[in-house]
Amino acid sequence: MASASSSKLGQPTRRIDGRLKVTGAAKYAAEYPAENLLHGYVVVSTIAVGRIVSIDTRDARTVPGVLEIITHNSYPGMSWWDRDWQDETAPPGHPFRPLHSDRILFDGQPIALVVAESFEAARDAAALVHVLYEVGEPNTDLRAASDAAYVPKQKRQGIQPPPKPRGDAEAAFAAAAMKVEAEYTQPSEHHNPIELFATTCVYDDGKLTIYDKTQGSQNSQAYVCGVFDLKPENVRVLNPFVGGAFGSGLRPRYQLFLAVMASLKLKRSVRVEVSRREMFYLSYRPITEQTVALGADPSGKLHSIQHDAVQGTSRFEDYQETVVNWSGLAYQADNTALTYELAQLDTDTPGDMRAPGAATGVFALETAMDELAVTTGVDPVELRKLNYTYRDEDNDKDFTSKALHACYREGAERFGWSERNPEPGSMRDGHQRIGYGMAGGFWEAQVVPAEATVRLNADGTAEIKAAATDIGTGTYTALALVAADELGLSVEAIDVEIGDSDLPTNSVQGGSRMAASAGTAVLLACRAIKERLLKQAQKTKGNMFAQAALEDTIFENGSIALKGDPGQSVALTELMSDGKAIEEGGKASPDKKVAQNYLGYTHSAVFVEVRVDDDLGMVRVVRVVSAIAAGRIMNPKAARSQILGGVVMGIGMALHEEGFFDHRTGRIMNHNLAEYHVPANADIEDIEVIFVDEKDDLINPMGVKGLGEIGIVGVAAAVGNAIYHATGKRLRDLPFTIDKIIA
């Protein structure tokens, strides 16, 4: 890489795609033009369980401009094999097949697609589709369904089951001098990114160019090819810009299927965009019940950790998250027992939502740790330090790095934690009670297989190509920074092309792994280019570079020089005077030797101040300090934004977000942004982000860890712990709304 003084990595850098976005030049899935474009509008079920007795489309077909109405009665033949419907991130089970039969499996299920010459005609006609149902009895209540909870037989790829018990957790808990045991519940939380799910399918003589709102263009391409039995060379999926996803776009959503189906049937280009109401049915954080039991000695040293979780899933897929495992790796304890079960509900399959599993499991664990701090009289920060672990005891492996101690120290100092009076309700400001709370956070640092090509042009510019995705996290800029840093070019000299299934292979953008994975592929491609440049310099520049190895050189300011003599340099353009570009590919994958002995995680310490109104019970989060340990920070400007966004989502999780099911009908009652509350500007006050120094030479060649998820982890627990400190009332049922505080 470049020398420390000139390194591009670690410098605050504006997004290279920022101007396109703020000027409206960046196009999203529903904005691409197509000749003779048709529009599809989805009719959804108004029951949660049952079957369709009849669908009357006669009135709808009279609307001018309507070309086709597709229902289960006119469903074209598709693959019968589940494997053809299962995408890269699908859980075990039978993937949902839109319009496949008359059965209704969940509220909001698509039951018809109206296709018309205009969006307005399709929408108006959809309102005239009349459906007669045979209504079944739904169960959307997790508590009622938990009696039939089960351990999934088949594990979801990438999701680790709970580890085997260590020691005898029950006996150690029974013998413990200090005990905490409580239940923690969480409702469904529903994705509402700015961009609605949409697909524009452009038809050209049997070939499809598909603009899709997705977190993985190649994942959507493989899904379309499998379901419709199409050749990959005839299907191209593009997603250059994604207006927020946070996990909701990992799986292909039904608008993709419907748009492609209609396009192939009518041999026309078709666009299908869902409504805001439909977004509530498509993907949500699952309903969860957890029990945590901690046993400790009078000093607060843990001897037993038990963590049990039951999550809701659909009737047709076993959606799974890593919920309880965090309790086995967060703190040192000789006796642990962790269990995870599913309970089937009459809902659509839940989906990944920022820090899936960790945001849920750490909420329960870190609330229980605060309760233990109260029980033992030990300061919450000191309690966590007392039980600090330097190894992942779940897997009996060392961490590649862990700077959580520094997060505790620097976060507490910046927040002013030492000024906290530990007595609940003791800190006041007029009619407001002041509460300080904190929690730790944990997320896995992943590297997955990824490929990229880098082309260095004779004019000193470079091009990057990879089927990576930018869901708002800054992938364009991150990859440009890697290439600029490695090749010694300016960021402005780098052109990044991503979001296209035709480009070198990448997995879906999820789990905070894109920068580390695709970035490593770019790094390796750049190093291959540098090797070729060095050989060229050795051929043409006499003895200057004759004995030099790559590590003896510096690439800076568009030139190559020796580290011992930086004044003597050769411009890269001079080495490419023949006018030919140099192109190399890079392939990233997890280091098997490292994986045998180490595991990588990001860590955080979140400190929160709340004010609780004496009379109204209204909670305001007035101050947050989030201290993050995430290896090398590629771009502090973008990194800070990632954590800010995570903290805001954590505040929403703590105080606002809740899907309400009418258990009599199984329907979601608040499927709109008027009644489903998310934080507004007035709800968010001061948030400070600290990145502690953490060097990690093992996690990947760049030493970077993902940042997209860690910002939310622990926030809800810290807010709840602060509310307890302010009021003396312990809340364990998310969200912490006024009715629960004043009850």
Residues 651 and 708 in one domain: yes
Q: Which two tokens stand for residue 47?
A: 């029951």
Query: Are 244 and 194 a contacting pair, CB within 8 Å?
Result: yes
Same domain, 164 and 228: no
Give domain status of residue 702, yes or no: yes
Q: Are residues 317 and 418 in the same domain?
A: yes
The DSSP result for 360-404, as a single string, is HHHHHHHHHHHHHHHHHT--HHHHHHHT--SEETTTTEEES---H
Closest CA to 489 of 512, 456, 521: 456
In a domain, 5, yes or no: no
Query: Structurally, how many domains does the chain consist of?
Result: 3
Q: Is residue 687 part of a domain?
A: yes
| 160 and 301 housed in the same domain | yes
Q: Which among 589, 619, 647 is the end of a domain?
A: 589
Instruction: Answer with the one of 230, 264, 282 that is the final residue of a domain.
Output: 282
Token couple for 469: 């995705």
Confidence of residue 6 (pLDDT cuts 50, 70, 90): low
**Residue-wise pLDDT tens digits, 312-366:** 999 999 999 999 999 999 999 999 999 999 999 999 999 999 999 999 999 999 9
* Residue range 602-656, pLDDT digits in tens: 999 999 999 999 999 999 999 999 999 999 999 999 999 999 999 999 999 999 9
* Strands of the 38-44 sheet, one edge to the other: 66-70, 110-116, 38-44, 270-273, 198-204, 207-212, 235-238
Residue 582's beta-bridge partner residues?
456
- Establish if 6 belongs to a structural domain: no
In terms of domains, do 125 and 264 share one?
A: yes
Tell me the mean pLDDT in the region 180-209.
97
pLDDT at 743 over 90: no
What does the pLDDT average to over 305-316?
98
Question: Would you call 470 helix, strand, or coil by DSSP?
Answer: coil
Residue 11 lies in a domain: no
Burial 544-565 (b: 16+ CB within 10 A, else e): bbeebeeeebbbbebbbbbeee
Pairing relationship of beta strands 198-204 and 207-212 according to DSSP bridges:
antiparallel
Of 195, 451, 609, 709, the active-site residue reads 709
**Residue 4: inside a domain, yes or no?**
no
Model confidence over 357-366: pLDDT tens digits? 999 999 999 9
For residues 163 and 140, give the distance between their C-alpha atoms in angstroms, rounded to a whole number. 29
The residue whose two tokens read 């591009």 is 8
Among the listed residues 4, 3, 13, 2, the one whose alpha carbon sits nearest the alpha carbon of residue 479: 13
Look-up of token digits 């411009």: 571
The answer to whether residue 4 scores a pLDDT higher than 70 is: no
- pLDDT at residue 460 greater than cutoff 90: yes
Q: Say how far apart CA 518 and CA 599 lie, in whole Å.
A: 19
151 lies in a domain?
yes
Query: Are residues 453 and 432 part of one domain?
Result: no
Q: What is the value of pTM for the model shown?
A: 0.96
Of 639, 645, 605, residue with least CA distance to 625:
605
How many CB atoms sit inside 10 A of residue 429's CB? 9
Residues 66 and 118 in one domain: yes
Position 457 in a domain: yes
- Whether 5 has a pLDDT exceeding 70, the answer reads no
pLDDT at 3 over 60: no
691 and 726, same domain (yes or no): yes
Which residues neighbour 551 within 8 Å (Cβ) at sequence distance 6 or greater? none
Which CATH number is 85's domain given?
Answer: 3.90.1170.50
Query: What are 308's strand-pairing partners?
Result: 291, 339
Last residue of a domain, one of 258, 282, 306: 282
Three-state DSSP at 170 gives helix
Range(s) of the domain holding residue 239: 32-137+194-245+249-282
291 and 385, same domain (yes or no): yes
Pair (508, 407) in one structural domain: no
CA-nearest of 608, 640, 635 to 710 is 640
Residue 480 has pLDDT above 90, yes or no: yes
463 is catalytic: no
The answer to whether residues 619 and 734 touch, using CB atoms and an 8 Å cutoff, is no
CATH of the domain at 324: 3.30.365.10
pLDDT tens readout for residues 71-126: 999 988 888 899 999 999 999 999 999 999 999 999 999 999 999 999 999 999 99
Percent of the chain with pLDDT strictly greater than 90: 94
Task: Find out whether the peptide bond into 380 is cis, omega within 30 degrees of 0.
Answer: no
Looking at the fold, whether 367 and 330 belong to one and the same domain comes out as: yes
525 and 616 co-located in one domain: no
Tell me the C-alpha distance between 704 and 697, whole Å: 9
CB atoms within 10 A of CB 315: 16
Q: Are the C-beta atoms of 511 and 709 separated by less than 8 Å?
A: yes
Q: Please write down the HEC assignment for all residues of 297-357.
A: CCCCCEEEEEEEEEEEECCCECCCCCCCCHHHHCCCCCEEEEEEEEEECCCCCCCCCCCCC
